[in-house]
Structure 1
Amino acid sequence: MRELVRFKGNRDGLTVILDPEADFQDVLEELEKKLEAAGNFLEGAAVSVDLGSRDLQPGQLSALEKAFLSKNMRLRRVMAGPSGARGVASLLEGSVSVPEKAPSPGVGDGFWEDTDKDIPVIQYRLPAHRHREDLISQEQTILIQRTVRSGQRIFYPGNVVVLGDVNPGAEIIAGGNIIVMGTFRGLAHAGAFGDENAVVAAIRLEPSQLRIAGYITRAPEGDFSSSQQPEIARVQDGIVIIEKYQPGFDRYSRGQGKGGS
């Protein structure tokens, strides 16, 4: 099933990417579901919305703003291709034109930002031989160079890598993957915005609770291995499985998981 709304953490913060071809009401409903699933993790966040080639109709921009405001979030800017940017600008009673000069250094290669609007509209252009996916980077990653102790809680919209252990009573919530170069005994939630392809990996996985997107499990008691071979958790056939990590891991291959329900 096609993902209509994707959350990406990048150097500018959190970007929400909307499917440009799907019905807007379907996109809005999925956005509201993902915001609800995130709970209060994103409260107070400023977000950018990437429309792609979507041309917003009257009332749709307000609907997006309302969805974010319901979670105390602020719509920081709108990004779109040429047709989408002009549509948004017309809704804001402005106009968008692509200048001949190079983009401003702070905006990034291939971007132009119209800063005269209350909500900035950013139009990007791509050479014909490039795909739009090349413009959107993969999730950004935060590196934590210490053990995460009981009572500590880490939330990041991209990937989280821990150089240390995650102790019982600690929590890590990530919009992307969670990688721990040690033993994981706390609570993990990868793919917090609904990404079922996210994984949780550690030298030893002994979580009190492990969630990927909307799927929840925990490692069975007494089933912990004494080997130091890394382990990985992923969603397979609607359940979370935990298995030994193999180099060249294919998330769509079938493996022998050690548990999950």
Structure 2
Amino acid sequence: MRTEPLQVRGRFLTAIAIRIDVETPDTHFFAALEDKIKTAANLLIGAPILLDFEKVPGFTSRELLHDVVRAIRSRGLLLFGVQNATPEQQALAAELGLIQVMIGRDAPVQQVRAATPRRSRLVAQPGNKIIHRHVRSGQMVVAERGDLTVVGSVASGAEVLAYGNIHIYGTLRGRAMAGVEGDASARIFCSKLEAELLAISGLFKTSETIQPDLRGCNVQAFLEDETLRIERFL
């Protein structure tokens, strides 16, 4: 039997988005970028990075975009694409080797449903996932279209992701990302917090920015006023 020389497979990619919130990045922008890199080095260094243009549709300066990309790459970050970009921004990004990445929540839902056979729609209904084991370093567990429950601990270097909430009945030492498709109402619950990273709908806290008095505690994380908050869960 002939062996195929290659295979094409889907992969779940965790990327970090840097959202630009000013039409004209200046010295304050670059100082803030430097500060973010210092405070979240463990998250950003070595991770795939996107530029998010959602808030700046009028940002069309070729020179400024070159400056932003140069500043990011010169700090060792792996910038590979853009999202929420206008056609003009996409063209400018392409000149710098950046691709346009379509994120799930931007898809035209009605068109997707119309083009999907009935059987596929049934399979794609929301569902939760329960894991009755520890998640080891280097492993990634994803709950698509639902909540994730881990009856065990999540080791340092492991990742757990969910479209909905995350419940961890054990120690969280790795990374937990809830609401990965943009659900700002998602929450993270864990019995003992020792996390490298907590993220909900793209907003995150790293081990360096989690309050020391919350470590080792039973906590919940949630979004409030576009801020990720962590509090003891009694």
- How does the TM-score come out when normalised to structure 2? 0.50
- Which of the two has higher C-alpha Rg? 1
The structure that is helix-richer by fraction is 2
